[in-house]
Amino acid sequence: MEPRVAEPLPGITEDVLRRFDVSGPRYTSYPTADRFVEAFTTTQYRQALQQRAQGGVVGGGAPLSIYVHIPFCESVCYYCACNKVITKHHEKAAEYLDALVTEMDLTLADLGRTQSVSQLHLGGGSPTFLSDAELTRLMDDIRSRFKLAPGAEISIEVDPRTVTNERLQHLRGLGFNRLSFGVQDFDPAVQKAVHRMQSYESVEALMIQARALGFESTNVDLIYGLPQQTPESFARTIAQVAALKPDRIALYGYAHLPQRFKPQRRIDAALLPVAADKLHMLSGALGGFVGHGYTYIGMDHFALPNDSLAVAKRQGRLHRNFQGYSTQPDCDLIGLGVSAIGRIGATYSQNAKTLPEYYDALAHGQLPIERGLALSRDDLVRRAMIMALMCQGRVEFESIELAHLIKVQDYFGPELERLRAMADTGLVVVEPSAIQVTAMGWYFVRAVAMVFDRYLSADQTRAKFSRII
């Protein structure tokens, strides 16, 4: 039986979807990465590391999160906006692994080797570009330098086209307990249009094997708005993914920015779905996944009710970092590898974005920091407001006032007026001492958070971001 496009959720009309079809940040950080500056150098980053080592930053003894960027892919996916290197020369990985060891050692020279790690994530690119032996070496290098805490989340992004059952078994043996499968769409016409062919059956087999091996959580990434997609074809993909029953689903809207991302120039813009069809896809996905028993976590994430992410949402324990929603407490993040982003204390930093620049800095004994940001007092106050909205859907004024020594009603007078206007659409309730995002507003939480973003005052800034819808 042909799956039908699911009905939108109650109260979420296409008029509401259309009204909030605007560009805006995803708020994996605040300020967002486009605000990073080259004036932030290795010197400031090292100072932040040293302050953490000395307990000079709040939470200095808290566990770390580590992100490792593996940039290599064997073939290009036309929609991709990630930092990547397309190559079939697997021997290039050896030099990169050597560089990662150098970066870790330079980092630990300032940070110290007693750091506990509660979360480790390998992303890319395609981390499964690495061979079994290379993945073993990388994990050994990490474990010999950092202390992975008992129960740590150890996750890896998986390209189903480059993974076998035996590879999954090897990953499990290395300690990985979470997998994220890049699927995007199961429709063959869409896959051909974006140069990423993979069958439903192959992904299904890997999901079955992952469960048999005891992986704690599996995630599937999807994209709507790709060339050749229709509301009807995407409804089939939604039904197929729901049948696989991954623990988590990430649903992203495709942002066609060929002037910024060269691979997207291979996409025929005439094949992209029109805005009305994208709205149908989104509303169908929201209704479809919730109808299949998933909890809507926020923005573009869904989880089964018993998944730790859904439990964290129910208990008000959601957090957000550069990988998206997380169950991990707000903690410092070490970014390793080309273009990787990190956060230490009240600073953000990003590594060099090209391999030659990355390698050159390390060859000269320097951490490869290219840019970053030391947060101002105003940044910290606004970050607290935005992250409370993004993660809990509620801001209690008293907690902000005690932590930052302000009066919310005075500090954010214009912002609260804008929120009151937004309240007329049913997205938020502005109480005398709190802001509450409504059930419908949770689907547009980015738009609510944007009210407190000081850097979005200029319209030209918004053009840098993807659309909310």
Q: Mark which of 334, 365, 394 sits at the end of a domain.
A: 334
Q: Known binder of ligand: residue 24? A: no
What pLDDT sits at residue 465? 60
Token reading at 123? 């992303």
What pLDDT sits at residue 57? 47
How confident is the prediction along the chain (469 residues), in pLDDT tens digits per residue?
A: 456 555 555 566 667 777 776 777 888 889 999 899 999 999 999 999 999 998 754 444 678 999 999 999 988 898 888 888 888 888 899 999 999 999 999 999 999 987 899 999 999 889 999 999 999 999 999 999 999 999 999 999 999 998 999 999 999 999 999 999 999 999 999 999 999 999 999 999 999 999 999 999 999 999 999 999 999 999 999 999 999 999 999 998 888 888 888 889 999 999 999 888 888 898 889 889 999 999 998 878 999 999 999 999 888 888 888 878 888 777 899 999 999 999 999 999 999 999 999 999 999 999 999 999 999 999 999 999 999 999 888 999 999 999 999 999 999 999 999 999 888 888 899 999 999 999 888 878 888 999 999 998 654 554 556 555 5
Token reading at 252? 């992203």
165/44 same-domain check: yes
Render 115-129 in DSSP notation, one character per residue. Answer: -EEEEEEEEES-GGG
Token reading at 83? 């930092």
Q: Known binder of ligand: residue 358? A: no
Residue 457: which CATH number? 1.10.10.920
10/133 same-domain check: no
What pLDDT sits at residue 115? 85
79/225 same-domain check: yes
Helices (H), 303-376: 308-314, 355-363
Across-strand partners of 351? Answer: 369
- 23/34 Cα distance (integer angstroms): 14
Helices (H), 112-199: 132-143, 165-173, 188-194
Return the residue matching tokens 């995803």: 26
228: number of CA atoms within 13 Å, CB side? 15
Assigned domain for 339 exists: no
Assigned domain for 372 exists: no
Signed CA dihedral, 368, 371, 376, 379: sign only: negative
**What is the residue range of 431's domain?**
1-27+377-469
- 408/396 Cα distance (integer angstroms): 10
Tell which residue, 384, 378, 377, 469, has the closest CA to residue 435. Answer: 384
Q: Known binder of ligand: residue 196? A: yes
329/392 same-domain check: no
Mutual orientation of helices 200-213 and 165-173 as an angle, nearest 10°? 30
Residue 68: which CATH number? 3.80.30.20
102: number of CA atoms within 13 Å, CB side? 19
Token reading at 337? 């590898």
Q: Known binder of ligand: residue 47? A: no
Q: Known binder of ligand: residue 73? A: yes
pTM: 0.90
- Amino acid letter, 99: A
Q: Known binder of ligand: residue 184? A: yes
| Max intra-chain CA distance, the chain | 63
Q: Mark which of 279, 302, 334 sits at the end of a domain.
A: 334
Assigned domain for 467 exists: yes
Across-strand partners of 296? Answer: 302
Quote the distance between the C-alpha of residue 37 and its chain's center.
Answer: 21
Asked if residue 180 lies in contact with residue 156, where contact means CB atoms within 8 angstroms, the answer is yes
For residue 160, give every residue at least 6 positions away whose Cβ sits within 8 Å of its Cβ, in sequence order, or none.
181, 182, 183, 198, 202, 203, 206
Q: Known binder of ligand: residue 80? A: yes
Assigned domain for 293 exists: yes
Asked if residue 47 lies in contact with residue 372, where contact means CB atoms within 8 angstroms, the answer is no
416/448 same-domain check: yes
Q: Mark which of 313, 334, 355 sits at the end of a domain.
A: 334
322/390 same-domain check: no
Q: What's the structural domain count of the chain? A: 2
Q: Known binder of ligand: residue 377? A: no
Asked if residue 42 lies in contact with residue 349, where contact means CB atoms within 8 angstroms, the answer is no
What pLDDT sits at residue 212? 97
298/420 same-domain check: no
Render 371-389 in DSSP notation, one character per residue. Answer: EEEEPPHHHHHHHHHHHHH
Q: Known binder of ligand: residue 294? A: no
Q: Known binder of ligand: residue 124? A: yes
